[in-house]
Amino acid sequence: MQIEVYPTCDSVKNLSGKTAIVIDVLRATSVITTALFNGAKRVIPAPSVDDALILARKFEGHVLLGGERGAVKIPGFDLGNSPLEYKKELVSGKTVILTTSNGTRAIKASESAEHVFIGCFLNASAVAEKALKLALLGEAPCVSIVCAGTLGEFSLDDSACAGLIVDILVRNIEREKEPPELSDLAFACRDLYLKYQSNLKAFISHAAHYKRLLGLGFEKDIDYCLQIDVIDCVPVYDKKTLEVKIVL
């Protein structure tokens, strides 16, 4: 089994036959995971604000429009990109159309994969186990972890989460006695995660994006997004319908 990590959505290559796990810890994939866990019917990632508005018209308004530009809520949208906004009472049974600067682009960039899962610290074990199951069945022997990055650049928060997922995969594969093959970046991310696992926030505080969010008053979002394994479900992106759902 192979495990590889891509540092940004722009760096993603052809993923055909592979399982992609898309990560944008701060905050798009944490938002998607939270919204679906809280009962949203589906999340539709939209590349641009215009795309989101056009989609919303198709649904004749029976949707929630969410997302950010420059980390803040888009004028006229119902919700921003804070996972704490996506409460059960607000999203349950609803369709959410989401457009963000990095995360929704990373999902689009992973469309060539056989399976596209949405991952973050919140559901790290769940998403790793789902990918591992497919690999052990021989369905998709390579797991490609796609970090969204921040504005086209490598991001410490995403790479730490990638490192955690690599570590879970490696530990579980070792149990299966099959040695995994790590790409250079998969090795480096795991190494960084293992070094800083006891104080993730201190590590991630060196990230440019962390500092930006902190300056905008989003510290509660950061604390929420850094919780590990508090959600036990995996959002799956359906390439045919272009929507993300939880598939049981």
Binding residues for a second copy, per CB under 8 A?
A: 7-8, 10-11, 13, 150, 152-156, 159, 182-185, 187-188, 191-192, 195, 206-209
For a second copy, give the closer residue by CB, 17 or 133. Answer: 17
**Residue 117: closest CA among 235, 17, 35:** 235
Q: What is the DSSP-derived secondary structure letter of residue 74?
A: P
Taking the complex as a whole, the smallest distance from the CB of residue 89 to a second copy amounts, in Å, to: 36
Q: How many Å apart are CA 22 and CA 144, to the nearest integer?
A: 8
Q: Strand 243-246 relative to strand 235-238: parallel, antiparallel, unpaired?
A: antiparallel
Taking the complex as a whole, the smallest distance from the CB of residue 122 to a second copy amounts, in Å, to: 21
- Contact by Cβ (8 Å): 225, 27: yes
Q: What is the DSSP-derived secondary structure letter of residue 12?
A: -
How many alpha carbons lie under 13 Å from residue 244 in its C-beta half-sphere?
A: 34
Taking the complex as a whole, the smallest distance from the CB of residue 7 to a second copy amounts, in Å, to: 5
Q: What element of type H or E holds 134?
A: helix 124-136
Taking the complex as a whole, the smallest distance from the CB of residue 175 to a second copy amounts, in Å, to: 21
Q: What is the DSSP-derived secondary structure letter of residue 111?
A: T
For a second copy, give the closer residue by CB, 64 or 186. Answer: 186
**Residue 203: both structure tokens together:** 């590590």
How many alpha carbons lie under 13 Å from residue 108 in its C-beta half-sphere?
A: 14
Q: How many Å apart are CA 100 and CA 207, to the nearest integer?
A: 19
Longest dimension (CA), the chain: 53
For a second copy, give the closer residue by CB, 125 or 183. Answer: 183
Taking the complex as a whole, the smallest distance from the CB of residue 243 to a second copy amounts, in Å, to: 30
Taking the complex as a whole, the smallest distance from the CB of residue 152 to a second copy amounts, in Å, to: 7
